Amino acid sequence: MKPALQSWESRELASFFHTFSDLPSLAEAGPTVIERGEGAYVFDNAGRRYLEGNSGLWNMTLGFSEPRLAEVARRQYDSLPGYHTFFGRNSKPAIALAERVLSLAPVPMSRAFFTNSGSEANESVVKLLWMIWAAEGQPQRRKLISRRNAYHGATVMAASLTGKDYVRAFGLPLPEVVMAGCPHAWRFARPGESDDAFAARLATELADLIEAEDPSTIAGFFAEPIMGAGGVLLPPETYFAHVQPVLRRYGIPMIGDEVICGFGRTGKLWGAQCVGQSPDIIVASKSISAGYFPMGAVMLSREMDERASAASRAWEEFPHGFTAGGHPVGCAISLEAIRIIVDEGVLAHVGEIAPGFQRRLSDLASHALVGEARGIGLMGALDLVADKDSKQSFSGALRIGERVAASARARGLIIRPLGSSIVLAPPFILTDGEVEHLFSTLSDVLDDIAAQPDVKAGMSR
């Protein structure tokens, strides 16, 4: 056999059916095979080191070598390596984790249960809402409102709630889903419209949408406090203050999707605290276990808990759950991750390094390729434009985001292209020096790309 065929890269290409991967780049550059991690860095199988500017998929918030998480996992594997939460059974770590997340919730929450992912958590909420409304004599209340550019997951309903074009590949969204406007003022506010006027208009449009769909058919409204996979889109400061009264007027529950924001990403424990969102149900994942175990959580307010409990009485149970939901090892890891984030100073550390991170990010707004630099806490995005004035994006053929990411990777920095944006979400344990390294690398990358002849030709000035 030829040596090339034995490489991990060629074995990968021959055997692995890729999820969410840019196939032209993969064909050209091949996959990156990551072998180990240390702090905020990962190392590929050739020993090359990369600063993980995205914490994996936003989730490895405590980095790649936190011994305390491995230690609690080991201890839990030794005592009870797996169990479930069906038929009234449970394990101590799952109970303790429910207590802990409830005690930390941004608004009072009554009870919680666990899933293996953010998608499953959102999917579970939809079933919960449908069960509640049906039991309350309103079985026609099945429509879910989401927002353009939202990301809520990859399972059938969670993908339907995702306001991205690509869900059409699957004939989605399901007919129950209706889309409200995206609260990104830089792209969608009208010329001269203030942030507050834009937010007020979105709330009016939401009320119009609800009326047009018939309020008695709406089951719930899903919203990330800050849209993550949409490209780190922060709503106007008064967005939720305008939108929430509309939902309340029609008795529509607000579901806060904290999968990315929750447990520290924004510099506060919850995204809701940054944007004034008052959810009736909260969904979390990712940072809850610092990515060391697949884990999702659903928290219910007292009212939603009581309504769900009443509704499940007709069936003598909530006929829903996942084999590994509330896995004792995942819950033990999550308890420790939350302890490290909240009690061991990591959240405070994020608060300390975030201003520098945001300052370096907004410095890049003056770069020729950058239309908008935006972010909060340790999440940020650069919107790349061919023309700063018209905010015109580059032609897709230039694959500008992929180019930036590939050039960064060649310099030992992993970042993620997302549509016309480049997204940053480094681990919470980053040092000031690593923040500096991240942005000086990124700045060099942008200079290089801007100097490439076809990119130069594609720019208006």
The residues that touch ligand PMP, with contacts defined as CB under 6 A, are: 57, 117-119, 122, 151-154, 224, 228-229, 257, 259-260, 285
Reduced to 3 states, what is the DSSP secondary structure of residue 34? strand
Q: How far is the CB of 450 from ligand PMP (least distance, A)?
A: 30
Q: How far is the CB of 222 from ligand PMP (least distance, A)?
A: 9
Residue 122 or 301 with smaller CB distance to ligand PMP: 122
Q: How far is the CB of 287 from ligand PMP (least distance, A)?
A: 11
Q: How far is the CB of 359 from ligand PMP (least distance, A)?
A: 25
Residue 407 or 426 with smaller CB distance to ligand PMP: 426
Return all residues near 8 (Cβ < 8 A) that are at least 6 apart: 33, 45
Residue 286 or 307 with smaller CB distance to ligand PMP: 286
Give me the residue whose beta carbon is nearest to ligand PMP.
118
The DSSP secondary structure of 67-129, one letter per residue, reads HHHHHHHHHHHHH-------TT---HHHHHHHHHHHHH-SS---EEEEESSHHHHHHHHHHHH
Least Cα distance to 120 among 269, 297, 253, 242 occurs for 297
For β-strands 370-376 and 379-384, DSSP reports them as antiparallel
Q: What's the CA gap between 315 and 155, in Å, rounded?
A: 25
What is the distance of C-alpha 377 from the center of its chain?
14
Length of the chain: 461
Q: How far is the CB of 202 from ligand PMP (least distance, A)?
A: 19
Residue 125 or 398 with smaller CB distance to ligand PMP: 125
Residue 102 or 154 with smaller CB distance to ligand PMP: 154
Question: Bridge partners of 374?
Answer: 381
Q: What's the CA gap between 249 and 233, in Å, rounded?
A: 26
The CA angle 165-166-170, to the nearest 5 degrees, is: 120
The helix (run of H) or strand (run of E) holding residue 386 is none
Q: How far is the CB of 421 from ligand PMP (least distance, A)?
A: 14
Rg (CA), the chain: 22
Q: How far is the CB of 229 from ligand PMP (least distance, A)?
A: 5
Q: What's the CA gap between 416 and 402, in Å, rounded?
A: 8
Q: How far is the CB of 313 from ligand PMP (least distance, A)?
A: 30
Q: How far is the CB of 445 from ligand PMP (least distance, A)?
A: 24
Residue 223 or 386 with smaller CB distance to ligand PMP: 223
Residue 105 or 297 with smaller CB distance to ligand PMP: 297
Return all residues near 15 (Cβ < 8 A) that are at least 6 apart: none
Residue 182 or 260 with smaller CB distance to ligand PMP: 260
Token look-up 């990403």 returns 265
CA atoms within 13 A on the CB side of 406: 14
Residue 244 or 285 with smaller CB distance to ligand PMP: 285
